[in-house]
Amino acid sequence: MDKNIFLWLVIIGIIIGMGFSVFGETKAESKETVYIIPINGEITPAMATFFVKSLQEAENLGADAILVELSTFGGRVDAALNMKQAIEQSKIPIVVYISDRAISAGALIAITAPRIIMAPGSHMGSAEPIPYSSKAVAVIRGEFESAAERNGRDKTIAAAMVDKELEIPELSPAGSLLDITAVTAKEYEYAEEILEGRQNVLDYLGFKNAYVVEKQPDFLFKLAQFLTKSSVAPFLLTIGIIAIIIEIFTQGFGIAGIVGIGSLTLYFGANLMAGYSHWWPVVVFFIGIIFLVVELFMPGFGLPGIIGIVAIIIGVIFAASDPIRGLKNFGIALVLVTILTPILIRFLKGMGTFRRVVLSETVVGNTHLTVENMAEGLVGRRGTAITTLRPSGIIEIQGRRLDAVSEGEFIAPGTPIIVVEDKGLSVVVSKDR
């Protein structure tokens, strides 16, 4: 009997212990969860995609609140509007914490949130659309006003952040965009509190002991953001174009070709990953390359060459975040290519590694001939164009074939020529009139 009592006591103890364990797990599982989504830097389509996916993930996992840590000078309007829509449709309470600044598109994101908390010394506003037009101002002003009204804020203040012609006495003079500090934002009920640091914000919101999930952009996102910077993208284009030019004028396919294709792939691929571009600018660009290659095998400079150049320019410009930035990228690259290409060609010639797209050396019978072997007394000699010179090609002098370049004119095969200058690895010729 005593043994039975003891056994029952053990069983009861186990059951009670399991109960406490289950209770403890339930409490742990019921711990409130806060998602932290950082929005740092330029507002881009890639940033908008990251933001929307993070909101969806937070909703799927049943988060109790979302804290958006905002620090930006602005960015693309279309990306900001996508983020605005996502905030408005969110089923989870969203709080925006402005850690230092929310300028332009960043101000729209902040105003869309039901609650705004600002760090000491932070500010928000200055959202004039670029390029400026009365239509653009009206559209963006409407977005700001609707976001303010939705959250019970003064829409006039929001409008003054966009429209510099709007005057608010003692706050925003006519002719100046409104940018408000944390203190002013709290005074006019745009920010509900001024707090320093994330933990103080969480404490204020009642999530002192909450489980925090901090989302971060992945490596590919960060790489795309870096490669599409205005300080990086033009150099990718420059390297790509110069490398392709060098590859065209060297024998076989080597390092220059790999570098050129790699650089152009990074330029277009980064813009695709960042959400700036669609596939069509990439397709247009490579169609342009194909037309230029076709042009190389045709006499003169005709329609394929023009189409190729135009297609390449269009591809480069429209692959960027906006046509203006794309045009700047192309302009910078064009200047750098113009300056650096002759320097690199001269350097490669000196190393003896440079060859033209046509042969700079040939074998006639058992004799290995190069331009250098024939340099003496070459100027003034007459011969015949074997291939089209446009401007480079192959000529024949006294039964020997040489690499040559015309003075810019088109020279058809079979045309009599005369050597007017010796350049070492090639000669300059003109028609023998």
3-state SS record for 230-260: CCCHHHHHHHHHHHHHHHHCCCCCCHHHHHH
Strand segments, DSSP code E, in 311-360 are: none
370 shares its domain with 339: no
DSSP at 321: S
Kindly indicate the confidence band of residue 200, based on its pLDDT and cuts at 50, 70 and 90.
very high
166 shares its domain with 250: no
**pLDDT tens, residue by residue, 58-83:** 999 899 999 999 999 998 888 899 99
**pLDDT tens, residue by residue, 89-99:** 999 999 999 99
Residue 425 identity: L
310 shares its domain with 367: no
- In-domain check, residue 203: yes
**Residue 118 to residue 98: CA distance in whole angstroms:** 5
174 shares its domain with 203: yes
- Token output for 95: 């709080």
Mean pLDDT score of the chain? 82
125 shares its domain with 79: yes
- Token output for 396: 């024949």
**Residue 46 to residue 276: CA distance in whole angstroms:** 8
Q: How many domains does the chain have?
A: 3
Q: Which CATH number characterizes residue 370's domain?
A: 2.40.50.140
Tell me which residue of 97, 83, 82 sits closest to 35, measured CA to CA. Answer: 97
Domain boundary among 198, 217, 236: 217
Helix axes 303-319, 255-273, angle to 10 degrees: 50
pLDDT above 50 (res 29): no
**Do 169 and 160 meet the contact criterion of CB atoms below 8 Å apart?**
no
Partners of residue 101 on adjacent β-strands: 123
Domain boundary among 156, 190, 217: 217
199 shares its domain with 122: yes
Helix (H, G, I), strand (E, B) or coil at 392: strand
Q: How many Cβ atoms from other residues are within 10 Å of residue 101's Cβ?
A: 22
Residue range 195-224: mean pLDDT, rounded: 89
| pTM tops 0.85 | no
Sign, CA dihedral 290-291-294-295, equals negative
Residue 363 identity: V
**Phi and psi at residue 421, in whole multiples of 5°?**
-160, 145
Query: What is the Cα gyration radius of the chain?
Result: 34
Highest mean pLDDT out of 148-157, 269-278, 337-346, 361-370: 148-157
142 shares its domain with 168: yes
153 shares its domain with 264: no
DSSP at 210: P
- In-domain check, residue 1: no
**Phi and psi at residue 209, in whole multiples of 5°?**
-110, 20
Q: Which residues contact 233 (CB under 8 A, 6 or more apart)?
A: 227, 267, 270, 320, 329
Domain boundary among 190, 217, 244: 217
203 shares its domain with 322: no
pLDDT above 60 (res 399): yes
75 shares its domain with 211: yes
**pLDDT tens, residue by residue, 327-348:** 888 889 989 988 887 787 777 6
301 shares its domain with 239: yes
**Residue 16 to residue 360: CA distance in whole angstroms:** 93
Angle at 307 between CA 303 and CA 312, to 5 degrees: 150
* Residues of the domain holding 94: 30-217
Buried b (16+ CB within 10 A) or exposed e, 327-356: ebbbebbbebbeeeeeebeeebbeeeebbb
Tell me which residue of 366, 333, 310, 208 sits closest to 264, measured CA to CA. Answer: 333
**Residue 108 to residue 124: CA distance in whole angstroms:** 9
47 shares its domain with 182: yes
pLDDT above 70 (res 20): no
